[in-house]
């Protein structure tokens, strides 16, 4: 067994041990009484080692959470949602704190509904390794994600009974990476939830020259006022959330990824479907797709919603929906849970309970 596989197996074995212990402690008594067993929550960091084209190993940090017992059962098969954050964020985009009485954690919302959730820090963000900024482009990021998914699928009996299906859930750059991965490597997941990005031609109202100075650094940093303008719709945003975001949730964006996105923005602006397909590989996605666009998203305009489904030309089923009164960061607005509920319902209808 390789060191890489041994490390991963040890970590998953720990999850299996907890599950087995829960089964022994909670199973028979509650069943005999006709009651649901008590619920426990597993929250655990799981590291994946991936190799990039420079033949160097890097770590992709994953943050696993799931509930065992209670209404979720113990080792019943369930869907694993693999979550990919957008640019300038890390996994906390999916696991925001409680602010002014509002819970901003998509991960908590979904684990309470009996999904397993694996929120990744993409390369260069959070607890993951930071490769050279020009190396970490879209192709390398997709390769890293494919390697993570391969490891998840191939671990064996400690993993398979728990996670029955895998859904990729991306936001913005995470959507771009998920699409490119599915286009490059085939159906390595069973479904795709694509939020905060669209492939239909449009002009994104950002002057590429605005990135000239940030692109001087290998990891691009976007100033807080620009992030606020791009990511939030003020009428349904809490200013305290925006302040928390800019103080605690900001991560650098690899220059290679940023340059790939700027190329994509050019293809979108000139209305070049062939260029869009070639840069994104959206026409090669072969799994069911749910696309969510915010009504007031500057980066992924809801105005193109009617044209978006056609770009997923190889998918067997595409649903595109516009979420009203919300901006780019769907998870960080006051009305976020409407979109979360739609994702839950779509996954159940598409992949089964």
Tens digits of residue pLDDT in 332-346: 999 999 999 999 999
Q: pTM value?
A: 0.89
User: What confidence tier does 155 reach under pLDDT thresholds 50, 70, 90?
Assistant: low
Q: What is the pLDDT of residue 37?
A: 67
Q: How confident is the model at residue 24 (pLDDT cuts 50, 70, 90)?
A: very low
Q: Does 197 have pLDDT greater than 80?
A: yes
Distance CA(154)–CA(157), nearest Å, equals 9
Q: What are the boundaries of each domain within the chain? A: 3-351
Which of 16-20, 127-131, 163-167 has the least mean pLDDT? 16-20
Report the pLDDT value the prediction gives residue 36, as an integer from 0 to 100. 58
The band of 141, judged by pLDDT with boundaries at 50, 70 and 90, is very high
Tell me the CATH number of domain 3-351, given options 3.20.20.370, 1.10.1270.20, 3.40.1030.10, 3.40.50.1820. Answer: 3.40.50.1820
Give per-residue pLDDT as tens, 282-304. 999 999 999 999 999 999 999 99
Mean local confidence (pLDDT), 53-82: 92
Q: What is the mean pLDDT of residues 137-149?
A: 98
pLDDT in tens, 79-89: 999 999 999 99
């Amino acid at each position: 067994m390789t060191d890489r596989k041994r490390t991963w197996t040890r970590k998953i074995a720990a999850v299996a041990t907890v599950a087995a212990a829960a089964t022994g402690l909670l199973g028979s008594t509650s069943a005999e009484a006709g009651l649901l067993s008590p619920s426990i929550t597993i929250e655990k960091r799981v590291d994946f080692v991936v190799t990039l084209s420079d033949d160097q190993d890097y770590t992709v940090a994953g943050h696993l959470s799931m509930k065992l017992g209670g209404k979720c059962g113990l080792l019943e098969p369930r869907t694993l949602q693999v979550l990919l954050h957008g640019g300038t964020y890390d996994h906390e985009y999916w696991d925001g704190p409680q602010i002014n009485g509002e819970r901003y954690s998509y991960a908590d919302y979904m684990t309470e509904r009996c999904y397993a959730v694996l929120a990744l820090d993409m390369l260069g963000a959070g607890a993951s390794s930071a490769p050279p900024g020009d190396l970490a482009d879209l192709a390398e990021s997709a390769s890293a994600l494919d390697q993570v998914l391969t490891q998840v699928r191939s671990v064996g009996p400690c993993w398979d009974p728990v996670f029955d299906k895998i859904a990729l859930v991306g936001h913005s750059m995470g959507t771009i990476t998920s699409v490119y991965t599915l286009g490059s490597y085939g159906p390595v997941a069973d479904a795709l939830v694509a939020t905060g990005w669209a492939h239909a031609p449009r002009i994104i109202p950002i002057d590429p020259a605005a990135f000239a100075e940030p692109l001087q650094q290998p990891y691009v940093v976007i100033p807080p006022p620009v992030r606020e303008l791009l990511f939030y719709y003020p009428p349904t945003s809490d200013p305290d959330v925006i302040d928390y975001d800019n103080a605690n949730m900001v991560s650098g964006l690899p220059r290679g990824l940023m340059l790939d996105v700027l190329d994509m923005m050019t293809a979108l602006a000139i209305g070049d479907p062939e260029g869009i397909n070639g840069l994104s590989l959206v026409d090669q996605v072969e799994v069911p797709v749910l696309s969510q666009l915010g009504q007031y998203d500057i980066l992924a305009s809801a105005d193109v919603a009617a044209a978006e489904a056609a770009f997923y030309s190889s998918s067997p089923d595409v649903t595109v929906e516009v979420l009203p009164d919300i901006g780019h960061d769907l998870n960080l607005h006051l009305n976020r849970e409407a979109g979360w509920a739609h994702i839950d319902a779509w996954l159940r209808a598409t992949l089964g309970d």
